């Protein structure tokens, strides 16, 4: 009983933490006007800081090929097409709610094993843009969506 409780307490704390930091917010599944998006062409829009309250919209701002309709975790899982990251891919990360989380992969350090993945993301910290880095396992990444052409001769292919 004592051992069981010792395991339950940290897990519930983790769940509470994820509940706060998971990426909520419903994604507008209508494709936005690319004209109006591009008209904003300022430094601020290049950094995508207008999307710090929505992980998917931020990731799509950084990677405009990211598929639409990624509101729920099941949607995010469904578009996964790579078991490893390259710069320009998007990491799909489970959370304690039904939305899950998406994070843009800025770049990957392939020298260490396991590789170190550098994420830029929105709404992991509530309504903020932030960055993390670590191994796939340490960041609790399920898998990745990568755009066509992301893979290199140096990797074994998407899966
Ligand atoms: Zn690859």
CA of 44 to the centre of ligand 1 (A): 30
Of 92, 86, 80, the closest CA to residue 154 belongs to 86
Query: Taking the domains of the chain in order of start, what are their residue ranges?
Result: 2-24+46-145
How many CA within 13 A on the CB side of residue 106? 12
DSSP label of 150:
-
Residue 90 bridge partners (DSSP): 104, 145
Q: Which CATH superfamily is domain 2-24+46-145 in?
A: endopeptidase domain like (from Nostoc punctiforme) (3.90.1720.10)
**Stretch 97-122: mean pLDDT:** 97
- For 71-88, the pLDDT digits (tens) are 999 999 999 999 999 999
By CB atoms closer than 10 A (0-12, 13-18, 19+), residue 49 is middle
Query: What does the pLDDT look like over 6-22, one tens digit per residue?
Result: 554 444 444 444 444 56
| DSSP H or E run through 143 | strand 143-145
How remote is the CA of residue 134 from the centroid of ligand 1, in Å?
18
Q: Is the pTM of this model over 0.85?
A: no
**Cα of 58 to ligand 1 centre, how many Å?**
23
83 CB-side CA count, 13 A: 5
Ligand 1: centre distance to CA 92 (Å)? 16
Calpha distance 60→116 (Å, rounded): 22
């Amino acid at each position: 009983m004592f051992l069981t409780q010792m395991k339950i307490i940290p897990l519930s704390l983790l769940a509470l933490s994820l509940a706060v930091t998971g990426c909520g917010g419903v994604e507008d599944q209508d494709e936005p006007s690319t004209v109006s998006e591009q008209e904003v062409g300022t430094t601020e829009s290049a950094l995508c800081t207008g999307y710090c309250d929505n992980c998917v919209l931020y990731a799509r701002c950084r990677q405009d090929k990211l598929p639409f309709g990624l509101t729920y975790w099941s949607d995010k899982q469904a578009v996964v097409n790579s078991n490893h990251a390259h710069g320009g891919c998007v990491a799909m990360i489970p959370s304690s709610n039904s939305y899950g989380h998406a994070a843009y992969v800025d770049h990957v350090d392939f020298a260490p094993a396991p590789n170190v993945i550098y994420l830029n993301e929105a709404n992991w910290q509530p309504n903020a843009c932030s960055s993390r880095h670590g191994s796939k396992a340490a960041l609790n990444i399920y898998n990745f969506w990568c755009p066509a052409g992301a893979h290199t001769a140096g990797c074994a292919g998407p899966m």
